[in-house]
Amino acid sequence: MRILITAGGTSEKIDDVRAITNHSSGKLGKAIAEAFSAEGATIDYITTKQALHPDNDEATIHLIESTADLAAKLNELMTAHRYTAVIHSMAVSDFTPESSVTIEDLQDTIAAKPDDLALALKEKVRERTEKKISSDTDHLVIVLKKNPKVIQQIKQLQPETILVGFKLLVDVPMIQLLDVAKASMEKNDADFILANDLAEISGEKHHGYLINRHHKVKEAQTKSEIAQLIKQEVLKLEEAK
């Protein structure tokens, strides 16, 4: 049994010294790796330098930074190996910085009434010579463009793998959380979604719902309970195949 786990949070460079990062401690990913390692699984583990990760004897660690790195690494690993399951717990940036300008530059650019404002701002930046953004302005404007959805690669590369996706919302009613999770399952062709709410995560306490394709919901209260639940449900589905 070979398992691919992604964990931690991506970071997208603004310039050479600044980045937009998605926060994730990596603790849950580590717990999931330990749960599968205890079953004798071979584990590939994609994460970042900042996140906690399992020991080297439990998993092969692949370090990445950005969403583009993640997409490339997933493609490489999923082309080389067949995975029983992919547990995609990494917090992935939806957007990546495209251009950074002062608010004065923004207003100048808009005054020229461009057809495509985002494109015009990219050109504005290209005219600039300094590598680090000047701090001689009261307001800085960063324009970000949408990243491709990395999770959608997974079933395209291996339709047979069991895909566990994650959905994190912030302080929403349970019904809304489950609805968003179901929509994410459809859109990404996932077999399970672990739905969780940041307002219900602190330390080892981690409230989560694991939803399957038949919309059955199982609940867990801690990171290790979530890890065990994911392991059990993945193994059960693999046996039933």
* Site residues (vs a second copy, CB under 8 A): 11, 14-23, 50, 91, 93-95, 98, 103, 106-107, 110, 117-118, 131-132, 135, 137-146, 168-171, 198
Query: If we measure between CA atoms, which residue out of 47, 49, 56 comes closest to residue 88?
Result: 47
The CB-of-3 to a second copy minimum distance in angstroms stands at 25
For a second copy, the closer CB: 105 or 233:
105
Shortest Cβ distance from residue 175 to a second copy (Å)? 16
Cα(29)–Cα(68) distance, integer angstroms:
20
215: left (phi over 0), alpha (psi -120 to 50) or beta: left
- In the complex with a second copy, the residue whose CB is nearer, 23 or 216, is 23
| Residue 216 CB neighbour total at 10 angstroms | 10
Rg (alpha carbons) of the chain, rounded to whole number: 20
Least Cβ distance, residue 206 to a second copy (angstroms): 15
C-beta closer to a second copy: residue 60 or 137: 137
Of 90, 63, 118, 86, residue with least CA distance to 8: 90
Supply the minimum distance, in Å, between the C-beta of residue 6 and a second copy: 16
Nearer to a second copy, 88 or 231 (CB): 88
